[in-house]
């Protein structure tokens, strides 16, 4: 199995690395710490067992890739200026399956338009994983992927990939409703990521310990569910208390957006918060709580990046 | 004219100091920099003329005051744990007029209950004034007070005080609707103070330059006006664009809440934001934007104070 992992950060290194352990041939393109990773590979500390991942090729750009990939993983963050389609230039062959392991909504549309004859798999990762410095990755909890075929239906290529992941210590659920999975993850992600940053740098436990913030979380989730329902995604209001309870019982956790903020990296605001605000407005669903925290987050992000 | 100024900070030093320049006998109680102010008085840099204000008495507590005050000014910030009534212990005589030069809503009620036979003047200050360090005060703009009698109606004591202020370079407008004045000031104060802090430390110009934040300002003002109207205060929706335009045309300005935040001082959140959220809820006026920024501000304030 030939894999090209474009923009291989923490999530990419873990997923591709586990497949490489089981025999896949993996090339990666890297955004930062290129020399270090080319020389030493990734060092991954994981609750499922530590390992080292030395990719077969470490590239600065997919243009350098000369092989035919069975699967191209795109694991970049979804930022406003990122052009995912351009990243695929020249490497998508007739049978290449494009796998988006990313957050956000509607991220498949542009790819499908550019490559209408290629199969696209859309993937939501539940991996408590971060890059600390350079080539060091820490995987602290979770370990599940949910994969669906863009456009729905069964898929042999997906089945093969799921089998490979399952054999490589990464549990995968194949779903025929990946939109639901994306929204379900967003429900938690928007709420806790946004409050963790806008509230001044809070772990999940600190959010749940503060009645006003926990109620704000409930209000944000209510709005997200209404927007999801308006686009025919069946999130239910029961999920609110389930997620609150789940989060309360989970060990104190620093959200990925907060880690990005503290590292002064750009935040995935547009893809996860802005998109829901825009969908709400387009569908006449009032989203005042979302719109408030969205406006504040964009300001915080802008100042944070400027201050590098 | 004998004045006791309790909790004399920047606003108090300016107001009392101007009256002292014109012959009033002023005692002050001080929260911080006691020795410095006792030794050197306040040094005030003002667009209306620099001056030094050496109070007749500098006290740590009103209990030390042995005179009979004609007017007691209370110029403390309105913080949740502050007990304004206790500050008045022993110093309110039969003819003492109590003057509240403070922000916030419903701040007169407790005083009126404790001293039902004394006249209470409620005062809103439009003074662009801050304490920088120790005994140094900077007055950069504005210079107007609006004074009204609690309970309404005319007042000889208020007239006398207004005359004294007007003679001392501080313009005063006597109003029979001080509640309207308080809400009008809140309309600006909540909006720009809250966004300046929760948006990451923004001057007014930076708020107006950011479409999302300016729209957030409009949404906050709309909610404040609806709550004001629900308690029979006649703020009008026209004020929104007036205040936006006024603020846009005003030189870049750091709000007092942002200055407090940067100095790691506790913020006046409950008196100016929390109170409107609570009134909204009590009167069934939805205040989702206010409630979001209120929850975030309380968290930011708590972390900020903790980090001293």
More confident residue, B50 or A128: B50
Residue B189 is given by DSSP the state: I
Name the maximum alpha-carbon separation found in chain B: 55
Q: Describe the crossing of helices A288-306 and B211-230 by its angle, rounded to 10 degrees.
A: 140
Task: State the pLDDT confidence band at A17, using cuts at 50, 70 and 90.
Answer: very high
Which pLDDT score, from 0 to 100, does residue A26 have? 98
Q: Does A215 touch chain B (CB under 8 A)?
A: yes
Residue B56 is given by DSSP the state S
The rounded mean pLDDT for chain A is 94
Q: Is the pLDDT of residue A57 over 90?
A: yes
Interface of B with A in 5-44 (CB under 8 A): none
- Helix or strand run (H / E) with residue B176: none
How many angstroms separate the CA atoms of B151 and B167, rounded? 26
Distance between CA atoms of residues A18 and A165, nearest Å: 8
Inter-chain residue contact A202 with B299, CB threshold 8 Å: yes
What confidence score (pLDDT) does residue A44 get? 96
Rounding to the nearest 10 degrees, give the CA dihedral for residues B227, B230, B231, B235. Answer: 70
d(Cα B240, Cα B245) in Å, to the nearest integer? 9
Q: What is the mean pLDDT of residues A166-192?
A: 94
HSE value, Cβ hemisphere, 13 Å, CA-based, for A135? 17
Is A200 in Cβ contact with B304 (below 8 Å)?
yes
A263-266: which pairs have CB atoms within 8 A and are 24 or more residues apart?
A264/A304, A264/A305, A264/A307, A264/A308, A266/A77, A266/A79, A266/A301, A266/A305
**Binning pLDDT at 50, 70 and 90, where does residue A80 land?**
confident
Highest mean pLDDT among A137-146, A244-253, B219-228, B257-266: B219-228
- Report the pLDDT averaged over residues A240-256: 92
| B235 touching A (Cβ < 8 Å) | no
What would the two tokens of residue B45 be?
A: 């840099």
**pLDDT category of residue A170 using cuts at 50, 70 and 90:** very high
Are the beta carbons of A219 and B288 separated by less than 8 Å?
Answer: yes
**Within the 259-288 window of chain A, which residues sit less than 8 Å (CB to CB) from chain B?**
286, 288
The DSSP bridge pattern shows strands B136-149 and A25-29 to be unpaired
Among A191, A195, A198, A258, the residue to mutate for chain B (most B Cβ within 10 A): A198
Query: H/E/C letters for each residue in chain A?
Result: CEEEEECCCHHHHHHHHHHHHCCCEEEEECCCCHHHHHHHCEEEEECCCCEEECCCEEECCHHHCCCCCCEEEECCCCCCCCCHHHHCCCCCCCCCEEEEECCCCCCHHHHHHHCCCCCEEEEEEEEEEEECCCCEEEEEEEEEEEEEECCCCCCHHHHHHHHHHHHCCCEEEECCCHHHHHHHHHHHHHHHHHHHHHCCCCCHHHHHCCHHHHHHHHHHHHHHHHHHHHCCCCCCCHHHHHHHHHHHHCCCCCCHHHHHHHCCCCCCHHHHHHHHHHHHHHCCCCCHHHHHHHHHHHHHHHHHHHCC
Q: List average pLDDT for each run of 10 residues in chain B, which is 308 residues long.
A: 96 96 96 92 95 97 94 92 89 96 90 96 91 88 89 90 95 92 95 98 95 97 98 96 93 90 93 95 98 98 84
The answer to whether B195 contacts chain A (CB < 8 Å) is yes
Q: What are phi and psi of B263, to 5 degrees?
A: -85, 5
Contact B204, B196 (CB under 8 A): yes
Q: Please check the confidence at residue A308 and state whether its pLDDT lies above 70.
A: no
Element housing B168 (H / E): none
Contact (CB, 8 A) for B123 and B145: yes
- What percent of chain A stands above pLDDT 70? 99
- pLDDT at residue number A138: 92
What is the per-residue pLDDT for A18?
97
The H or E element spanning position B65 is: none
Cα-atom radius of gyration of chain A, to the nearest Å? 19
Of A210, A215, A300, the CB nearest to B299: A210
Strand partners, A48: none
* Residue B138 host element (H or E): strand B136-149
Answer yes or no: do B299 and A215 touch at CB < 8 A.
no
Q: With a cut of 0.85, is the ipTM above it?
A: yes
* pLDDT confidence band for A19 (50 / 70 / 90): very high
Angstrom distance (rounded) from CA B2 to CA B23: 10
Closest approach of B291 to chain A, Cα-based (Å): 8
- A288 → closest Cβ in B210, B219, B294: B219
CA A145 to chain centre: 10
* Helix (H) and strand (E) counts in chain B: 14, 10
């Amino acid at each position: 199995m030939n894999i090209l992992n474009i923009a291989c950060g923490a999530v990419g290194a873990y997923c591709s690395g586990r497949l490489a352990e089981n025999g896949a041939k993996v090339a990666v393109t890297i955004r930062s710490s290129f020399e270090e990773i080319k020389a030493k590979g990734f060092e991954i500390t994981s609750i499922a067992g530590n390992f080292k991942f030395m990719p077969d090729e470490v590239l600065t750009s997919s243009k350098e890739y000369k092989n035919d990939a069975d699967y191209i993983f795109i694991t970049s963050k979804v930022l406003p200026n990122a052009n995912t389609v351009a990243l695929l230039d020249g490497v998508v062959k007739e049978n290449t399956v494009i796998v988006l392991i990313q957050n956000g909504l509607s991220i498949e549309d542009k790819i499908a338009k550019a490559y209408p004859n290629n199969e696209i798999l859309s993937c939501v990762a539940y991996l408590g994983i971060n890059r600390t410095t350079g080539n060091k990755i820490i995987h602290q909890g979770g370990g599940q992927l949910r994969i669906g075929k863009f456009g729905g239906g069964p898929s042999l290529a997906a089945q093969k990939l799921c089998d490979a992941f399952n054999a490589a210590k990464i549990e995968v659920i194949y779903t025929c409703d990946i939109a639901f999975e994306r929204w379900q993850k967003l429900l938690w992600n928007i709420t806790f990521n946004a409050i963790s940053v806008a509230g001044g740098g809070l772990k999940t436990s600190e959010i749940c310990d503060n009645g006003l913030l926990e109620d704000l979380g409930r209000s944000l989730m209510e709005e997200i569910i209404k927007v999801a329902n308006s686009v025919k995604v069946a999130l239910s209001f029961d999920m609110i208390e389930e997620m609150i309870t789940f989060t309360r019982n989970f060990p104190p956790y620093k959200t990925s957006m907060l880690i990005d903020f503290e590292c002064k990296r750009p935040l995935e605001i547009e893809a996860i918060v802005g998109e829901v605000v825009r969908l709400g407005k387009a569908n006449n669903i009032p989203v005042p709580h979302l719109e408030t925290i969205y406006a504040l987050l964009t300001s915080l992000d802008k100042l944070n990046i400027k201050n590098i």
